[in-house]
């Protein structure tokens, strides 16, 4: 039987895993709403299971039949790479799904896609005039862009000084 022993491989894998999926969940909730939480958590669970399966398959390679099996860094990185592909599929499905009825009623069904495009278009460092120009290019209103920049400063964006990010 294979067990996960997080402590023997150091806490780095577990911390990196949790941080990766917490950030992914925060990004998706910010871009697409609360409906994506379950999808991200399912992806995290699937990634963990893939890592466990890869670790179990190592038994045939090294013949080590110890009761406690740890996930090697190679298996962990392989599982995370597979997860990146699954994440792209998940993103495509989320984009294809119809928005919730409340967004359709208010006419904001395309806003999550615009926000994703806006976020992806932002450079590493930018000023207020830059993000306003980018917002207009992707079809997002300036007040909406300003609102999301303020929200992102709280979660994933560093504000260097007034109007500089």
- Quick one: which of 53, 55, 50 has its CA closest to 70? 55
- Quick one: which of 138, 132, 104 has its CA closest to 118? 138
51 lies in the same domain as 106: no
**DSSP-derived secondary structure for 35-53:** GGHHHHHHHHHHHHHHHHH
End position of a domain, from candidates 78, 97, 116: 97
92 lies in the same domain as 54: yes
Structural domain of residue 112, as residue ranges? 102-155
91 lies in the same domain as 110: no
Q: Which residues contact 72 (CB under 8 A, 6 or more apart)?
A: 9, 55, 58
27 lies in the same domain as 45: yes
86 lies in the same domain as 111: no
Our count of domains for the chain comes to 2
Both tokens of residue 162?
């007034």
19 lies in the same domain as 88: yes
138 lies in the same domain as 92: no
53 lies in the same domain as 115: no
End position of a domain, from candidates 58, 79, 97: 97
| 60 found inside a domain | yes
Task: From first to last of the 165 residues of the chain, give the pLDDT tens digit.
Answer: 344 444 445 578 888 899 999 999 988 888 888 888 999 999 999 999 999 999 889 888 888 777 777 888 999 999 999 999 999 999 888 888 776 544 443 445 556 777 888 888 888 888 989 999 998 888 888 888 888 888 888 778 888 888 888
**What predicted TM-score, i.e. pTM, was given to this entire model?**
0.57
CB atoms within 10 A of CB 79: 21
91 lies in the same domain as 132: no
Spell 36-74 as b/e; 16+ CB within 10 A means b.
beebbeebbeebbebbbebbeebeeeeeeeeeebbbeee
| 44 found inside a domain | yes
């Amino acid at each position: 039987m294979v067990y996960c022993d997080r402590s023997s491989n150091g806490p780095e894998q577990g911390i990196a895993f949790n941080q990766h999926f917490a950030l992914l969940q925060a990004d998706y909730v910010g871009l697409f709403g609360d409906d994506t939480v379950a999808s991200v958590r399912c992806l995290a669970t699937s990634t963990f299971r893939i890592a466990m399966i890869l670790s179990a398959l190592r038994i045939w390679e090294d013949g080590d039949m110890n009761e406690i099996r740890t996930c090697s860094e190679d298996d962990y990185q392989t599982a995370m790479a597979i997860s990146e592909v699954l994440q792209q599929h998940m993103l495509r499905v989320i984009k294809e799904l119809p928005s919730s009825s409340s967004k359709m009623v208010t006419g904001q069904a395309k806003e999550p896609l615009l926000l994703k495009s806006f976020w992806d278009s932002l450079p590493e460092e930018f000023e207020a005039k830059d993000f306003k120009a980018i917002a207009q290019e992707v079809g997002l209103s300036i007040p909406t862009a300003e609102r999301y920049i303020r929200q992102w400063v709280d979660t994933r964006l560093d504000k260097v000084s007034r109007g500089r990010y």
